[in-house]
Amino acid sequence: MNFAKREWIITGSVVAVVVLAFGIYFFITGSKTHQLVAKKDAVQKDLESAKQVLTDETETLNNMVIGLRNSFSFAMSIQDQIKITKGLVAQTDFLFTGPNGNNPKMIFKNSDSDILINAERRDINIILEEWQKKISLSALNDLDEQEARLIEEQTRIVQRYIEDITEIVNTSTPENSGLTVAKIEDYKSKLPGADSVTDVITSIAQAVVDNQNKNTQNNTSPVVAYVQTIYPEMQASTTGSFTPQTPSITPEDVIAQQAIVDAAQAQVDALQKQLEQINQQIADQNKTNTATTTVVNQNQDGQTTNYNYSNYSGSYIYSQGESGFQDLIAKPGVPQPLQGN
């Protein structure tokens, strides 16, 4: 066997190995991409199902909240006013360091007024801490007219606090505060109006009156009197209202449903994150496939290409053999191209 034939056999063997390697590589990468696409489709279906569950459970929760408001209209109206007042106090936070802590301090000096307002804000924080417990769903059963009157008095304390801090800002000058005129005007624009707290006090007082009127109407209604003779277990409440002992929707019902909604939302979030990760994996895989396809196309066009492998110290180069074919010959050392004809 002459040298040309031996070289042809070696060349053909090496080419076959390279082609086989590329074939296996494309099979593996193509299979991996297919698996990722299939996984993506499955996660998308799960995500759509999870979103539907979230929508359904949220709708159920909203309906239950409506039912709860019907059952506890007076208590929830008081909670609404508490939340409004808390928001008004929060609008003054920017004037203090540590506004919600045990030692709030006004951020600028104004004779002795800052000492007094710091003490006022500390007292307000105690009220806010009490209120935080009263705006929970579990507190609805305890919000009666007596509690409403206490909250109304506490709201008047908040009103005086806002009036005092507004007076401090309005009487501030660059000389007594160290603030610029522009900064003082900016502070004035951010403070809530005292009328806002007055509206809250009026709303609480009106809610108490409305509840009393409702109770009076219920207790004097001929229908109620007749029902009471048939169902003695239906008794007047401590506020005088004639209501069933067990409302149609309880705070506990809503709390339990809220937990279901939270779990459904967590499932949607987890699936969305999983889908994003899969999409990124598919994008990365497509980049790899595109880069490899470019190399193969260059070979098919007859261009000289180096093949570098991390586990092989040599390289493959093209050379012209005696057989007349452009042979592929293994050559150790650093990869290098050989210029063809």
Q: In this structure, are 205 and 303 located in the same domain?
A: no
What length is written for the chain?
341
Banded model confidence at residue 323, pLDDT cuts 50, 70, 90: very low
**CB-facing half-sphere around the CA of 66: CA atoms within 13 A:** 6
Structural domain including 124 reads 73-246
pLDDT of residue 30: 56
**In terms of pLDDT, which residue wins out, 328 or 262?**
262
CA–CA separation, 316 and 295 (whole Å): 14
Domain's final residue, options 196, 230, 246 = 246
Is residue 45 predicted with pLDDT exceeding 60?
yes
Q: 71 near 249, Cβ under 8 Å?
A: yes
Q: Number of folded domains in the chain?
A: 2
Residue 21 sits in the same domain as residue 115: no
Whether residues 194 and 302 share a domain: the answer is: no
222 with 276, same domain: the answer is no
Whole-prediction pTM value? 0.61
**Could you read off the pLDDT of 134-169 as tens digits, one per residue?**
999 999 999 999 999 999 999 999 999 999 999 999
Structural domain contains residue 307? yes
In sequence order, the 6+-apart residues with CB closer than 8 A to the CB of 61 are 254, 257, 258, 260, 261
pLDDT greater than 50 at residue 326? no
Torsion over CA: 285, 289, 290, 295 (sign)? positive
Q: pLDDT tens across 74-120, in order?
A: 999 999 999 999 999 999 999 999 999 999 999 988 766 778 999 99
Higher pLDDT, 179 or 331: 179
Kindly state whether residues 232 and 103 are assigned to the same domain: yes
Q: What is the pLDDT of residue 2?
A: 56
Percent of the chain past pLDDT 70, that is, above it, reads 65
Residues 82 and 179 in one domain: yes
